[in-house]
Amino acid sequence: MSLTRRLVLGAAAGTLAVPYVVRAQAETFRIGALNPITGAGSPYGTGMQRMIQAAVEAINSAGGVNGRRIEVFAEDTQTSPQAAVLAAKKLIEVNRVRAILGTWSSGVSLAVIPLTNEADILLMHTSGAPALSTPPANAKNLGYRYQATNDRFGRAFAEIAVREGFRRPATMAFNNASGIGNTDGFRRAWAAKGNQNGEHVVYEPNQPSYRAELLRVLSTRPDVIVMGSFLPDTTIILREWFQTGTPVKWIIPAWAANPQLVQALGPAVTNGIIAVDSVSNEGAEAFTAYDAAYRRAMNQPGASNVYAAMTWDMANTLALAIEQAKSFETAAINAAIRRVANPPGEAVSAFAAGKAAIAAGRKINYEGASSVLDFDEFGDVTPDFGVFFIENGQFNRRYVVKI
C-alpha cells in the first residue's frame, strides 16, 4: 500500500508545483489544444494536436503575436464529454489558457462550451451539431466551427447525387450528431428537389460487423449509398459490402474516405467511391504549407486528416485576429476573427504574410488549408465542396460543388 500512497502523494505534490513552473516563464499567450488523442477520434486527434503545435511554431518564429509568443498546453478529450470537461477545466483554471482549439465530436464540444463561455474564452471546434451555432451553447458567440455543418455536407451530397444521375439513394449514418446530420441534410435536400428518399439506417458505434444494417439497405436495391460515417466503421462496412458482390456506388465524407481507407481496403474495393471534402483549392498555398508540416510530423499526406487542416487554420486565424485586434482581450480578438478571415481583403495563406499586411494597415482575408474559412454570423463556415473519385487508389478531383 505504501507504494500507492507515495505515488498519489508524489503526483499531488507535482500538481501543486505546476502553477509556479508556469508562472516562472516569460509572459506568453496561452492556448489549449484539446483533442481526441484516444477513443473514437483517435485516428485524427494526434495529427490535430501536432498541427496546432506546428502552426504555433511557425507563428512564434515569425515573431509571435503582438510581441508575445504563443504557448500550447495539450490535453486529451478521450472522445468522452465527461473526460473532456475535466481536461478543459484544467486547461482553463490551471494553465489559464485564453482559447481552446480542436475539440472534435459534437458531444465533447457541447459539454466543453459552457465552460469556455463561463471563462469568457474562445472555443474553436470541428463538430457538426447544429446546436453549437445557437444559444444556449453559443450564447456568447465565442464558438467557431471550422468544419462545414453536417447539414451543409448533406446538401452538397444531394447536389452530387443529382449531377451523377443517381435515382434511388439510400443513406447510412453513424449514430451521433455528425453522422445523422450528414444524412438528414442529404434527405432534406434530396426531397426538396422533388425526389423520393430511399432506405435510411442509423447504426450504433463500435460494432465488429455491420452486415445486418448493410443487408437491410442493399435489399432495397439502391443505386448509391450516401454515408454519414467515420473511418473505422466505413472500413468495416465497405469490406462487408465488397464480399456481397452487390454493385452500388458510394458517396462518403472525406474524413472517412481518405488515403488511410484506401490503404486498409486496397484499390479494388475503393474504386469508384465519391469522396467529398471542403478543401476548396488543393493548390492553395495554405494547404501546401499544411501538407508539408503534416508529412513532417506524421509521415502521412495532409489529405488523410481533414481535421488537422482545420486545427492548423484555427491557430493561424486566432493569431491573425490577435494581431489585428492589437489586444489580448477576448472581446477584441473575437471581434477581429471575421475581419481577418472573411472577404473583402488581401488574400493571405500564412501568418507571416498576414502579419505584415496588417502592420501595413491593409485588410486581410485568410484563405485556409481546410477551406476558404469565411464565418457567418453563427461562427460557421460555408465552403465549396471538392468532389473526388477514387480511381486505382488515387483521389482524382473532378469538380467543385457550391451550395
Partner 1 sequence: MVSYVVFLLVVAGIYALLAQSLCLAWGVTGLVNLGLAGFFAIGAYASATLTKWGGAPVPVGLLAAMLAGAVAGFVVCVSTLRLRDDYLAIVTLGFAEAVRVVASNEIWLTGGTDGISGIPAGLPRDWGQGFHLAALGIVTAILGLVWFALRRLVASPWGRALRAVREDQIVAAVAGKRVTRLKAEAFAIAAAIAALAGALYGHYTSYIAPEIFQPLITIYVFLAVTAGGNGRPTGAAIGAYLLIAFLEATRFAAEILPGVSAVQAAALREASVGVVLILLLRLRPRGLFPERNQKAPA
Binding residues for partner 1 (CB under 8 A): 1, 3-4, 7-8, 11-12, 14-15, 18-19, 35, 37-38, 42, 45-46, 49, 74-76, 78, 80-82, 85-87, 89-90, 92-94, 105-107, 110-111, 114, 118, 129, 131, 135-137, 175-177, 180, 202, 204
Query: Nearest distance from residue 379's CB to partner 1, in Å?
Result: 16
Nearest 10 degrees: Cα torsion 292, 294, 295, 299:
170
Using the structure block, give the residue that is written with the C-alpha cell 495539450: 74
φ/ψ of 385, rounded to 5, equals -115, 130
Using the structure block, give the residue that is written with the C-alpha cell 450528431: 177
The residues facing 169 across adjacent strands are 224
Query: Nearest distance from residue 347's CB to partner 1, in Å?
Result: 33
Nearer to partner 1, 18 or 191 (CB): 18
Query: Nearest distance from residue 140's CB to partner 1, in Å?
Result: 12
Q: How far apart are CA 94 and CA 91, in angstroms?
A: 6
Nearer to partner 1, 3 or 26 (CB): 3
Q: How far apart are CA 233 and CA 199, in angstroms?
A: 19
Q: How far apart are CA 269 and CA 239, in angstroms?
A: 7
Nearer to partner 1, 81 or 393 (CB): 81
Nearer to partner 1, 37 or 286 (CB): 37
Query: Nearest distance from residue 213's CB to partner 1, in Å?
Result: 14
Nearer to partner 1, 8 or 212 (CB): 8
Task: Provide the CA 114 distance to its chain's centre, in angstroms.
Answer: 20
Nearest 10 degrees: Cα torsion 351, 313, 139, 130:
160
Query: Nearest distance from residue 207's CB to partner 1, in Å?
Result: 12
Parallel, antiparallel or unpaired: strands 274-277 and 200-203? unpaired
Query: Nearest distance from residue 349's CB to partner 1, in Å?
Result: 27
Query: Nearest distance from residue 107's CB to partner 1, in Å?
Result: 5
Q: How far apart are CA 199 and CA 207, in angstroms?
A: 20
Residues 60 and 69 sit within 8 Å (Cβ to Cβ): yes
Nearer to partner 1, 76 or 277 (CB): 76
Nearer to partner 1, 131 or 218 (CB): 131
